[in-house]
């Protein structure tokens, strides 16, 4: 499992949380302004017997002084920055590593075409499910008990993995903390706590895509039950039956593309 995949998974999970906090805070500030204006209007009506005195709106002491236009600019700037980061991540994943570059790069045109056919890239797909605490954080001790129950092994990148029964040491899926850098301190789990964990897998993997998702979904459902937590999709929405079927359809399409690339 590539460490870049873990960083990408945590990045995408964090984007949803950041935007949610931003819009909640913006909505709160707008409500403060509206309430302040309403208070000013009431004062003006009460003092209508003195027309020569103009009642200015009085802002509450905890209201933000930034204008609505500036807030819109801040939002646009934030979205632009997030968009730029996502595009950069996509671009980085599209660039072939040196080991993946064709050996016929400087050959004649005919040889280059043949090399392209021989080295057709196999499409990758990331599966992700999130388990979030309902109220208080999930303790390290509870996570250790759940990991043992689900036969998850602590290993590479300091996170937990489910390995195929065939003995292949490539993980079927992995479990990381939703708090960056996503690792678990194995020697200090008693004092560890996290608001949630994420299960993720990269396809193609050691098992068929459908079987990988079957095991991953069963583990996520069991984790949610053991930890009294909520099972969410990669956008942190409640994982519905419709979403599950949609993921299965995406896996089926991905498997078809992999077969074409390998043929």
Tell whether pTM > 0.85. no
Answer CATH for 125-262 from 3.40.50.920, 3.30.1400.10, 3.40.50.1970, 2.30.110.10: 3.30.1400.10
| Residue 82, CB-side half-sphere exposure with 13 Å CA sphere | 16
Q: Which residue has the higher pLDDT, 211 or 10?
A: 211
Contact 107, 246 (CB under 8 A): no
Quick check: 249 pLDDT over 60?
yes
pLDDT score, position 185: 97
C-alpha span between 40 and 236 (Å, rounded): 40
Residue in 124, 123, 143 with CA at minimum distance from that of residue 133: 143
Quick check: 116 pLDDT over 80?
no
Quick check: 154 pLDDT over 60?
yes
Compute φ and ψ for 202, nearest 5 degrees.
-110, 130
Q: Which residue has the higher pLDDT, 224 or 107?
A: 224
Q: Which residue has the higher pLDDT, 239 or 97?
A: 239
Q: Helix (H, G, I), strand (E, B), or coil: what is residue 160?
A: strand
Contact 93, 87 (CB under 8 A): no
Instruction: State both tokens at 113.
Output: 């075409």
Burial of 32 (0-12, 13-18, 19+ CB in 10 A): middle
C-alpha span between 150 and 262 (Å, rounded): 33
pLDDT score, position 84: 59
Find tokens 């069963």 and name the residue: 218
Instruction: For the chain, give the percent of residues with pLDDT over 70.
Output: 54
Q: Whole-number mean pLDDT of the chain?
A: 76
Cis amide bond preceding 204, omega within 30 = yes
| Sign of the CA dihedral with 248 first, then 252, 253, and 255 last | positive
Contact 184, 192 (CB under 8 A): yes
Contact 198, 223 (CB under 8 A): no
Q: Could you report the per-residue pLDDT of 158-194, keeping only the tens digit for each?
A: 999 999 876 678 999 999 999 999 999 999 999 999 9
In sequence order, the β-bridge partners of residue 126 are 202
């Amino acid at each position: 499992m590539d460490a870049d995949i873990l960083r990408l998974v945590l990045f995408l999970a964090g984007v949803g949380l950041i935007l949610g906090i931003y819009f909640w805070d913006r909505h709160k500030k707008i409500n403060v302004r509206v309430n302040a204006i309403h208070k000013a209007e009431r004062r003006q009506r009460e003092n209508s017997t003195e027309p020569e005195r103009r009642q200015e709106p009085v802002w509450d002491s905890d209201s933000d002084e930034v204008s609505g236009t500036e807030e819109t600019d801040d939002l646009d700037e934030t979205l632009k920055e997030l968009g730029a980061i996502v595009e950069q991540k996509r671009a980085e994943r599209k660039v072939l590593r040196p080991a993946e570059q064709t050996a016929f790069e400087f050959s004649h045109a005919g040889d280059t075409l043949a090399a392209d056919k021989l080295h057709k890239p196999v499409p990758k797909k990331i599966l992700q499910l999130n388990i979030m605490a309902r109220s208080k954080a999930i303790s390290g001790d509870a996570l250790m008990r759940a990991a043992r129950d689900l036969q998850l092994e602590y290993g590479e990148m300091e996170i937990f993995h489910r390995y195929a029964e065939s003995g292949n040491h490539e993980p079927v899926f992995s479990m990381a903390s939703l708090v960056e850098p996503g690792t678990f301190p194995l020697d200090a789990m008693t004092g560890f706590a996290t608001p949630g964990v994420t299960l993720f897998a990269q396809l193609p993997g050691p098992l068929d895509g459908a079987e990988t998702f079957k095991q991953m979904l069963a583990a996520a459902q069991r984790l949610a039950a053991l930890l009294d937590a909520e099972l969410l999709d990669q956008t942190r929405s409640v994982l519905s039956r419709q979403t599950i079927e949609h993921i299965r359809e995406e896996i089926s399409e991905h498997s078809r593309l992999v077969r074409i690339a390998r043929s």
